[in-house]
Each structure stands twice: as structure tokens, then as C-alpha cells.
Amino acid sequence: MSLAPQTFTGLLDEFGNLVPILALQPTHASLSVSGASARVALPGNGVVYRLSASKDCWLQFGDANVVAGVGDMLFLQGTEIVRLPTAATHIAAITVDGTSAQLGITEMLGEN
């Protein structure tokens, strides 16, 4: 059995892999983060989100009771695109240095 060749259009990385195109959605949440764990509901119903942190933070995804602590997922200051763990509805954060910071959470949508 032979497979028919397939043609893909879009951006390719240096290894020839298709790079997904993601669009920002109008659903956004902001979280004030400090030395104590804080949480917020994830905006929208997405699977992929853009996270932007003004300082290094420890993050944890979970339900309405999620708590972040030292040793959870380290998110360095800046912006990254992340895929959520299954069934996550909230994000919790705590700053690494214990001072105040902001975490922005924006839903992303993939191109069809």
C-alpha cells in the first residue's frame, strides 16, 4: 500500500515541520501575583494560551481550588505560548522573589 503525497502550506521551521499559526482572542485575564498564592479562572474555553509575566513565577494549573507553591512549574519573566493540561480551569501563581508582579493570560486560537 502506498500513500499519496500530501502538500502542506504554512510556515516551516528549520527542520521542515509545520509551525502552527495562532491568533489572539479577545478573552483575557490578569492576575496580581505576590509572595502568597493567587488564582484566576482561565478566560474562554481554549487549550492554548499566551502567558506574560512581569517577574519570574511559580505556576500551577488546576480547578477552582488550585494553589501555587515553590517548586511548581517555573515560568520565567516574559511571554510564552503554553498548552494547558487536560481539565484545567484555573491558574495559580506565586512570585519567585516574593514581591508583586502581574500575570497576563490570553486565549489563543489555531488557524484552520
Q: What is the pLDDT of residues 50-105, one digit of tens each?
A: 999 999 999 999 999 999 999 999 999 999 999 888 889 999 999 999 999 999 99
Residue whose cell numbers read 512581569 = 54
Between 25 and 33, the higher pLDDT residue: 33
Q: How far apart are CA 56 and CA 54, in angstroms?
A: 7
Per-residue pLDDT at 4: 54
- Domains identified in the chain and CATH numbers: 27-110 (2.60.120)
pLDDT value of position 112: 44
**Radius of gyration (Cα) for the chain, nearest Å?**
17
**What is the predicted pLDDT for the residue at 17?**
75
CA distances from 5 to 8, 14, 31 (A): 10, 21, 47
**pLDDT at position 9:** 54
- CA-based nearest residue to 89, from 54, 52, 60, 58: 60
Q: What is the pLDDT of residues 16-27, one digit of tens each?
A: 777 777 777 888
The torsion angle over the Cα atoms of residues 31, 94, 65 and 71, rounded to 10 degrees, is 140
Cα distances from 90 to residues 9, 18, 28, 99, in angstroms, run: 35, 30, 13, 22
- CA dist list (Å): 110 to 31, 64, 76, 82: 24, 26, 24, 13
Residue with cell 502550506: 9
- Whether residue 2 is predicted with pLDDT greater than 90 in this model: the reply is no
User: 8 pLDDT exceeds 80?
Assistant: no
pLDDT of residue 26: 83
